[in-house]
């Protein structure tokens, strides 16, 4: 990493661009009535992806940036599952037909905190309300410390074919500092259970930039992970935002690496995974050659949504559960964040939409540019703008933040095509931000660029 670039750009707080515009720009002016209208207007040929948010964990990991809470009582989880069932039915009724579904993703929190029979009931409800294609990818996020054989069997019978395991780090010093003790043996046992159940798609989530983490400990985690041969890795930089996530105050900031240290850890992990034969995809994903995500990257059909990089080509994402975000051709919607408010809306027979954003033509244009930059580290502005009835020259002139990036060698401009320099890809979010018409640099809502 060039130290001058790190100094110039590394401390800036920028979105991860899993949507555009990003969630802080959602407004309560988009509510349940708007969402109902958008659902009813979906084209007859539309297909959808489903995201179900389960905001419960048995204990809090101090690094966590998700919407979740600690659930000691199973009754709370069971009541929430019943609310999800009602919301699924209400959304399907509003659409008015069994829309095709190509992807289902259970996120959290810890989705597998549900009782196995409750999980199976949710899957059955989705298959009843929507036409889940036989080829659909059904993915579940898993905490290996709490997964049971009974839940694995319920997942198998429900058609789950991909599991994302939270690993983060195998270093016990780091684990104690983030309140997440998880042995290699626990993780290996879960991988073995999943594969024996026929759940062949295995993803590992790793994090760098954690307290007490070093390049050596990152590489040791990668070495151990490779023994378990997951198909994909997601490698995220820890976002320390204690003003928004109060439990992060349990982490001693003096034990966090600086920007250069974070970058060294990220590079070490990336180099180790590439040396092991994985294809680097975008900013933070890695996949085995031949994996669907690696193929999408090579074919330039990779997409980006609220789950990160994805092979999902659909324009409709239906979100279920407290805080869940949906994406439709008309815009974005987000459910009530607080579980009580969410449940009150759904049990009253209403959609739980609390806020959203209606897309303009300019938003759609910029969203396409930003997605290609994040997915491919390049964008053909001439082609993209032409498809949106816009002029590439006008777009370049409006992107004032792009000029210093070009001067500093971060971005190359060849006619109407921009490309991030190979040695500057760690600043891809800075390049994407050059086309963000809504960005407010003064707000500390996002993680550091490096």
pLDDT of residue 448: 59
Work out the average pLDDT over 369-377. 97
Indicate the pTM of the whole model.
0.94
Domain boundaries, the chain: 23-358, 361-448
pLDDT of residue 221: 98
Exposed/middle/buried for 390, CB within 10 Å: 0-12, 13-18, 19+? middle
Place of tokens 């949906």: 326
Work out the average pLDDT over 86-105. 97
CATH annotation of 361-448: 1.10.10.920
Q: Quick: pLDDT tens for 280-302.
A: 999 899 999 999 999 999 999 99
Q: What is the three-class DSSP state of 172?
A: helix
What distances in angstroms separate CA 136 from CA 49, 132, 214, one per listed residue? Answer: 9, 7, 39
Among positive and negative, which fits the CA dihedral 404, 407, 409, 412?
positive
Judged against a pLDDT cut of 60, whether residue 340 lies above it is answered with yes
Work out the average pLDDT over 85-93. 98
Band the pLDDT of 443: cuts 50, 70, 90.
low
Q: What is the DSSP letter of 5?
A: H
Band the pLDDT of 347: cuts 50, 70, 90.
very high
Q: Quick: pLDDT tens for 400-441.
A: 999 999 999 999 999 999 999 988 888 999 999 999 999 976
Q: Return the C-alpha torsion angle 312, 315, 321, 324, nearest 10.
A: 90
pLDDT of residue 62: 95
- Could you tell me how many helices (H) and strands (E) the chain has, helices first? 16, 21
Best CA proximity match to 119, nearest among 68, 90, 85: 85
pLDDT of residue 442: 57
Higher pLDDT, 259 or 366: 366
Most confident of 122-131, 233-242, 254-263: 122-131
CATH annotation of 23-358: 3.80.30.20
Mean pLDDT of the chain: 94
Question: Got the DSSP string for 389-436?
Answer: T--HHHHHHH-TTHHHHHHTTSEEEETTEEEE-GGGGGGHHHHHHTT-
pLDDT of residue 160: 98
pLDDT of residue 238: 94
């Amino acid at each position: 990493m060039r130290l001058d670039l790190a100094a110039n750009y590394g401390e800036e707080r920028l979105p991860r661009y899993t949507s555009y515009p990003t969630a802080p720009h959602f407004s309560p002016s988009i509510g349940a009535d708007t969402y109902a209208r958008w659902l009813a207007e979906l084209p007859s040929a539309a297909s959808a992806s489903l995201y179900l948010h389960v905001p419960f964990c048995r204990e809090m990991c101090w690094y966590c940036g998700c919407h979740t809470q600690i659930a000691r009582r199973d009754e709370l989880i069971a009541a929430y599952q019943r609310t999800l069932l009602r919301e699924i039915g209400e959304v399907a009724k509003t659409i008015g037909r069994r829309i095709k579904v190509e992807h289902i993703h259970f996120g959290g929190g810890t989705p597998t905190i549900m009782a196995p029979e409750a999980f199976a009931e949710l899957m059955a409800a989705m298959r009843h309300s929507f036409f889940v294609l036989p080829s659909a990818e059904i993915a579940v996020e898993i905490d290996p410390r709490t997964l049971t054989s009974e839940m694995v069997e319920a997942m198998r019978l429900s058609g789950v074919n991909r599991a994302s395991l939270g690993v983060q780090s195998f270093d016990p010093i780091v684990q104690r500092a983030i309140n997440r003790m998880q042995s290699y043996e626990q993780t290996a046992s879960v991988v073995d259970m999943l594969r024996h159940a026929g759940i062949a798609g295995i993803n590992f989530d790793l994090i760098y930039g954690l307290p007490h983490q070093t390049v050596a400990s990152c590489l040791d985690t990668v070495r151990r992970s490779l023994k378990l041969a997951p198909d994909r890795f997601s490698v995220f930089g820890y976002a320390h935002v204690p003003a928004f996530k109060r439990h992060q105050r349990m982490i001693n900031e003096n034990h966090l690496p600086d920007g250069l240290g974070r970058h060294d850890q990220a590079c070490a992990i990336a180099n180790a995974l590439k040396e092991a034969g994985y294809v680097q995809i975008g900013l933070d994903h890695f996949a085995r050659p031949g994996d669907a995500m690696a193929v999408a990257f090579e074919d330039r059909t990779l997409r980006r949504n609220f789950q990160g990089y994805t092979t999902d080509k659909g324009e409709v994402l239906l979100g279920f559960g407290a805080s869940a975000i949906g994406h439709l051709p008309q815009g974005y919607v987000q459910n009530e964040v607080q579980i009580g408010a969410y449940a009150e809306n759904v049990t009253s027979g209403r959609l739980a939409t609390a806020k959203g954003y209606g897309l303009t033509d300019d938003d759609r244009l910029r969203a396409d540019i930003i997605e290609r930059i994040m997915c491919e580290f390049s964008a053909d502005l001439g082609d993209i703008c032409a498809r949106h009835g816009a002029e590439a020259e006008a777009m370049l002139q409006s992107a004032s933040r792009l000029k210093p990036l070009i001067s500093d060698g971060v971005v190359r401009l060849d006619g109407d095509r921009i490309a991030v320099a190979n040695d500057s890809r760690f600043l891809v979010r800075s390049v994407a931000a050059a086309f963000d018409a809504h960005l407010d640099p003064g707000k500390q809502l996002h993680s550091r660029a490096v």
